[in-house]
């Protein structure tokens, strides 16, 4: 019976070690760079993702419409912090414009925390098209 107890203890320690090692992040894995100029600097990763998803849907585009490819030729990822594409700057201006419109014309539209809710959003004008003048 003691032979089985030793095996169970060793197996349990091995399982904990494997789970612990797999849950650890590699030391050289840096968190992604952020370049937030109009969105809150402390926006959560999930909220940032939801915001970007809503913008993609409103314009009917994918991430690479505003975000440039990584300068690393071995990487096929986007460089989300880069300002290389003019569409990203335009998106920032458009976001600021929508916020000004909401603040000026819809100041009474607030949530239960008293924060201004968006009334005018990207989809108000874009309707799924990257250029509103192309909306049919």
Q: Where are the alpha helices (DSSP H) in 73-117?
A: 86-105
* 119 CB-side CA count, 13 A: 14
Give the model confidence (pLDDT) of 20-76 as tens digits: 777 776 655 666 788 999 999 999 999 999 999 999 999 999 999 999 999 887 888
The CATH code of domain 1-136 reads 1.10.468
Nearest Cα to Cα of residue 88 among 21, 17, 38: 38
- In sign, the C-alpha dihedral spanning 45, 47, 52, 57 is positive
Q: Where are the alpha helices (DSSP H) in 24-81?
A: 45-59
Ordered by start, the domain boundaries in the chain are: 1-136
């Amino acid at each position: 019976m003691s032979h089985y107890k030793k095996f169970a203890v060793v197996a349990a320690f091995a399982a904990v070690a494997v789970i612990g090692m797999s849950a650890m992040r590699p030391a050289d894995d840096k968190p992604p760079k952020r370049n937030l100029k109009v969105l809150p600097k402390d926006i959560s990763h999930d909220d940032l993702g939801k915001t970007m998803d809503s913008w993609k849907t409103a314009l009917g585009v994918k991430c690479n419409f505003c975000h440039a490819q990584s300068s690393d030729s071995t990487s096929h990822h986007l460089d989300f912090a880069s300002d290389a594409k003019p569409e990203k700057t335009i998106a920032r201006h458009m976001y600021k414009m929508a916020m000004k419109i909401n603040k000026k014309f819809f100041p009474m539209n607030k949530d239960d925390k008293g924060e201004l809710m968006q009334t005018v959003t990207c989809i108000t004008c874009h309707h799924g098209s990257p250029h509103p003048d192309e909306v049919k």
